[in-house]
Homo-oligomer: A and B are copies of this chain.
Amino acid sequence: MHRVKVRVVEDALDANNTIARANRDDFDRHDVTVVNLMSAPGAGKTTLLERVLDGFGDVRAGVLEGDVQGSYDADRLASLHVPVTQLNTDPGFGGECHLDANMVRSALPALPLEKIDLLVIENVGNLVCPAEFRVGEDARIMVSSVTEGEDKPLKYPLMFRTCELVLVNKIDLLPHLDFDMDAFLHNLDAVHPDVPRMLVSARTGEGVEAWRDWLTGLPARREVAV
């Protein structure tokens, strides 16, 4: 019984990787760099996006919003005049808890790939399953809020291990929390040594410029890597 289950799961992940590669080929063909933005619910992904996309400069951005249902985040981003596409996961298993490559593939026809340089895919708020499913992205960014506690890298190691950048958000609240930043960074290094990290506040804007530079430089850095 157990062996059958494992085999099925491996097949599912293998199929996902196949479709992720197809997505990646399509993104490459349109010269679009893709970021997969992940976090727990309420860590501040959308507010950070509102901040960072305002004044984004020459790099033309687009957003694919993943949610179980509703379009609250997409509506918030609409005022920024960047193309926003909503992807709801609720036709799946009572609401899928993550985006997978096939869901992103189903959204491709709705994405204006010829008009953007950078696509940010805002994943469903969840620290477990999104880490399992590549969707064709060039880079993964993980947002961890200081209100969530220092132990999160140890409790959700795969998520912290498979990302290229960690944003430590809500640092404006540090004076009001018992959060130990050194302990958090120690835990982060334990699961992903030396992963780039930035301390940011979506509320005050602190650290957002550094993140904007990282994001807008991504297409050029990818060009070099390719």
Contact = CB atoms under 8 A, between A and B. Distances in A.
Interface stretch (A19-27, A154-162, A214-222): A154-162
Interface in A79-109: 92-97
Given A68-B155, A147-B147, A41 B176 contact: no
A87 to B, nearest CB: 14
A207 interface: no
**How many copies are assembled?**
2
Contacts of A147: 42, 145, 147, 170, 173
Interface size classification for chain A: 35 or more
B97 A126 contact: yes
- Which secondary structure dominates where chain A touches chain B? loop
Contacts of A5: 92
A94 B156 CA distance: 11
Interface centre among A13, A95, A124 (most CB of B within 10 A): A95
Interface stretch (A28-36, A54-62, A112-120, A127-135): A127-135
Contact of A68 (B72, B97, B128): B128
A188 to B, nearest CB: 14
Given A69-B157, A96-B128, A173-B173, 11 more contacts: A5-B92, A68-B156, A72-B154, A93-B132, A94-B158, A95-B128, A97-B126, A126-B127, A129-B129, A145-B147, A147-B147
